[in-house]
Amino acid sequence: MSAVDDLFRRLRSEGRKALMPFVTAGDPDLQFTAAVLKELAARGAHMCELGIPYSDPIADGPVIQASYTRALEKKVKLEAILKTAGEVAPTLAAPIVTMVSYAIIHRHGPEKYVREARKAGIAGAIVPDLLVEESKEFAELCRKADFSLVQLVTPTTPRERAKRIAERSTGFLYYVSVTGITGERTQLPPDLIENVAWMRSQTELPICIGFGISTPEHVKLLAPAADGLIVGSALVRRVAAATTEPRDKVLKDVGEYVASLLAALN
């Protein structure tokens, strides 16, 4: 059982849902990333997603892409990210999972990635570009290491394929709310709750919804249908202000924003 499994087992027993904020590692620098992770956990976030910067993200919108570009321009490396995670993770009540391209995992070496990530206290990885047809070997490696492998289902994923993805995933299933890229939205698809309900009938995995969630109203609407909600671009945009504004002010803004979402969650 990974720390992700433990988290959702506890939340389900309490009838509660998870808020899972996303942060780009190294934007504007790893020192501030560590401070943001601590602030999120202190405010009550249940899990933190740590984005590993990548030059060619497949589903990220302009806000997260820009954060990746800023981090890469500062030569942020995977080794330094894992080192920072290793310093922060033991101090947090909230597990950390990485959002990482399989290209990075492959280049680093799958066994080495899992080993070093677990050593750093990371509980799992969301791998958006790992095809289910090519995931068997890595999924078995993750299972043996009690390292959650989270994969994504989208609104356009054929249902038989969605079931295969769920069977191959561990920890939780990431349900993409909209067709397209990440980013803040004023409206979410009217059939989203129905689609998530069908997915829930096909798997015992916790189902967490991401893409487009940015307001307390979104949280109130979707919390009854999901086990967790993922907030990315709206948070990354606030963190990006640290390049021009005092960091203590940015941290306060980030914390108050997350607190407003948590207040709407349970």
Distance CA 203, CA 124 (A): 19
Does the reported pTM lie above 0.85? yes
User: Is 265 inside a domain boundary?
Assistant: no
Residue 48 three-state SS? strand
Give residue-wise pLDDT tens across range 96-129. 999 999 999 999 999 999 999 999 999 999 999 9
Q: Domain of 56: which CATH number?
A: 3.20.20.70
Give residue-wise pLDDT tens across range 186-216. 455 567 888 898 999 999 999 999 977 889 9
- pLDDT above 70: residue 59: no
Confidence of residue 86 (pLDDT cuts 50, 70, 90): very high
Residue 179 three-state SS? coil
User: Is 262 inside a domain boundary?
Assistant: no
User: Is 263 inside a domain boundary?
Assistant: no
- CB-based contact 232:16 (threshold 8 Å): no
User: Is 31 inside a domain boundary?
Assistant: yes
Distance CA 88, CA 213 (A): 26
User: Is 165 inside a domain boundary?
Assistant: yes
- CB-based contact 152:125 (threshold 8 Å): no
- CB-based contact 36:105 (threshold 8 Å): no
Distance CA 114, CA 111 (A): 5
User: Is 84 inside a domain boundary?
Assistant: yes
Question: What domain range is 10 assigned to?
Answer: 3-256
Confidence of residue 55 (pLDDT cuts 50, 70, 90): confident
Give residue-wise pLDDT tens across range 134-185. 999 999 999 999 999 999 998 889 999 999 999 999 999 999 976 544 444 4
Q: How many domains does the chain have?
A: 1
User: Is 90 inside a domain boundary?
Assistant: yes
Return the active site residues: 49, 60
User: Is 69 inside a domain boundary?
Assistant: yes
